[in-house]
Structure 1
Amino acid sequence: MKKHLIALGIVAAASVPSMASAADYVIDTQGAHASINFKIKHLGYSYIKGRFNTFDGQFSYDPMNVSDSKVTVNVDTTSLDSNHAERDKHIRSDDFLDVKKFSTATFTSNKVEAKGNGEMAIYGELSLHGQTKPLVIDAKFIGEGEDPWGGYRAGFSGTTRIELADFGIQVMGESSYADIELHVEGIKQ
């Protein structure tokens, strides 16, 4: 009888679905497997493209329950790089980003909504230039799996648009917004 109860207990335990939980990842900025890029109109004539070279962050992701996912990213605004030193100096000045006063921008998610086919909307708060405003990132799951170094990775891409005036940043001509493009690869912790 005792053996029968033990066997029954093992079968019952094996038949209970496992409770998957979100895995925690650190964004791989050391291996240059992540980037935060921007595109902004230049006086209505062309576009300037650039990136932020220094940032960090982490995210939690559960493919079985995307709504449990979370993201936090910190951007060093002094690392703005548009591939033109004089222009970068001007953009970093108090005419625009004022990086001496506002050296960090932060995005923290508060809701992730699955859209199907690996697409999701990441809702959160962006703190930039002394202002905090809601922001939605349209994101897409790229893939996940083991890496050649014995770790496990997951990757995403995303886009959003930031209205500069919403954050108290000067607008010049048609340059009222910045389109942001994100590529994030995280290492499972």
Structure 2
Amino acid sequence: MTPLRTGLAAFALSAVAATPALAADYKIDTEGAHAFIQFKVSHLGYSYELGQFRDFDGSFTYDPDDVKASKVNVTVQTDSLDTNHAERDKHLKSAEFLDVSKYPTATFESTQFVPGDDKNEGELKGNLTLHGVTKPVTFEVDRIGGGDDPWGGYRQGFEGETTIQPADFGIDMVKKLGPASENVELYITFEGIRQ
């Protein structure tokens, strides 16, 4: 190789090495059922009701070199609530609680990610719109892992938890299920496929 070609090759390699990793967009893999939105609420202070929303979609942006720039958007179809009990589901979907006929979707749009000491964890802040009311919430988030999948794609996986008070969103659980039902724990976990 001539000195000129050697110099050009070295320059090209150094330019590639100096190029920072770019943020990537991911689609949450709901089609492959690698995503879950679950909740837990006390029932009269005697036990817990567990459930999930089966129909939702969303996307996120993630750059391991600039985690502060991470963004998430999720839309949930509230009629997809499932607690493994048809009559209870009907009740929770009624005007007494979620009123899904009037408010068919709930959304979360992030506004900020604050990394912890480990950049794979932190606080995801954003706006949750539920029952027609928008309030700020913060999820404690952990990155589970990321890499190639067996189908030629590339994935990143996360989980997050937060606690909300339904009364803040105009849903008075306390009157209907007792004081222990003031708080609802939300848990999310999902894999995203890089687009």
2:166 to 154, 164, 182: 164
Q: Distance in 1 between matches of 2:153 and 2:9?
A: 32
Residues of 1 paired with 2:158 and 2:57: CA distance? Answer: 15
SS at match of 1:134: strand
What TM-score comes out, normalization by structure 2 length? 0.90
Q: Secondary structure at the match of 1:20?
A: coil
Q: How many residues align?
A: 187
* Matched residue, 1:188: 194
Supply the AA of the counterpart residue of 2:142.
K
Return the letter of the residue paired with 1:167: F
Superposed CA RMSD in Å reads 1.5
More displaced 10-residue stretch of structure 1: 132-141 or 109-118: 109-118
Tell me how far 1:14 sits from its aligned partner. 3.6
Structure in which a larger fraction of residues adopt helix: 2
Aligned to 1:99: 100
After superposition, the C-alpha distances for 1:106-147 in whole angstroms (9 at most, x for unaligned) are 000011111133112111000000100001110100011111
- Residue segments in structure 2 that go unaligned for 5+ positions in a row: none
**After the TM superposition, which residues 17-166 of structure 1 pair with which residues of structure 2 at under 5 Å, given as runs?**
17-117=18-118, 118-166=120-168
**1:60 partner letter:** T
Q: CA, structure 1 residues 28+95, in 2 after alignment: closer, same or farther (shift >3 Å)? A: same
- Per-residue deviation at 1:179? 0.2
Find the aligned partners of 1:151 and 1:63 in 2 and give their Cα distance.
17
C-alpha distance in structure 2 between counterparts of 1:116 and 1:157, whole Å? 17
After TM superposition, where is structure 1 displaced by more than 2 Å over at least 4 residues in a row?
3-16
Select between 126-135 and 110-119 the one with higher mean Cα deviation.
110-119
Matched residue type, 1:123: K
Per the normalisation by structure 1, the TM-score is 0.93
Q: How far apart are residue 9 of structure 1 and its match? A: 5.8
How far apart, CA to CA, are the structure 1 residues paired with 2:136 and 2:164?
Answer: 10
Q: Which amino acid aligns with 2:44?
A: L
Deviation at 1:169, TM superposition (A): 0.5
* Cα shift at 1:171: 1.9
Identify unmatched segments of 5+ residues in structure 1: none
Superimposed CA distance per residue, residues 57-107 of structure 1 (whole angstroms, 9 cap, x where no aligned partner)? 000111111011110000000000011100000000000100000010000
Distance 1:166 1:9 in 2: 62
How far does residue 4 in structure 1 lie from its aligned partner after superposition?
6.8
Which amino acid in the other structure matches residue 134 of structure 1?
A: P
